[in-house]
Structure 1
């Protein structure tokens, strides 16, 4: 209780800094998820169309997936320096694998008989993609987005290590000064945002899964 009281007191006296940190954290997370979608989904479609290319891209994606976020930050620092941009790049790299892999699996799992029927009806490749493949794969795509969003929100705290801002600033400062009330000011909102993201995308996923089963 003393820690929570201390966190509330600290929060009350640093409202502006906290507001800026929350905004930066949301901006980092939202932008990286959006750009991850813009990169991951087209590449997944490309992989689903070209088997040879999919082996190369999937191997590359799985390689990036095992690299820790902090290591990615350190790798991009010599190229982009410190601040918002390298943190954003690292989070995009983190966002792409679950989105790309789930989208690829979802599209590849579409029944070939359905696709053949669509082609027989004269549908173009674009129409098949937009009206058949994407809708059928949507629950898996949403699952990938949900995973990516939680990972991004949690890992965005590491942006503070290279001056990217966000709620991680309170966590790192709190740890370095042994001020656990300050640490809670950063850690609790991050946990809350991750939970809210999980609930939001989980609910959307369940809606589309229910629609698919109906």
Structure 2
């Protein structure tokens, strides 16, 4: 399997870089909730897929009432630039990609814009539905570089275990708004399911790994 880690890099990331893996998370402001009704969770995932599927591969997620966690790898530079051209041509049929200078392409700015579009779109819909005004998310989308293979494996477990950690359920099987279940059935999913299952070796090994509690040392690093 392809590996994509850079052990020497700083865990705390200021920018998104192509072909690197990140733990991405954010929190509602001022004790507010991000999700009130079940339909909010589903809409959030729909919008996440709509805005980010062409800039990153999604390996895991967990949606909690007032925050969310994602594990994603930014796509390679060629894929990002191709999507950039697609978006430009959709807005301007006269746009000519032959005039594009790839040395000026800002990976972080382009990727961040897709996540901002996603968060802003969800917040606007949420505010309209609940007759609410003002910001919904904290100012900055938080992100941390996944520094090695062990960390990647433990982080998938930690993200799925988050509802148990916060006391919303006693068993991770009982929280429906994580990606845990998506790796154990054949329903359509935006997740890189085959990659994750191959990473663990099999669905059985994936399930077995989740039967233990996650590494407690991750809690201090991951809390939002």
Question: What TM-score comes out, normalization by structure 1 length?
Answer: 0.30
Query: Which structure shows the higher helix fraction?
Result: 1
What is the TM-score when the length of structure 2 is the normalising length?
0.29
Q: Which has the larger radius of gyration?
A: 1
Higher strand share: 2
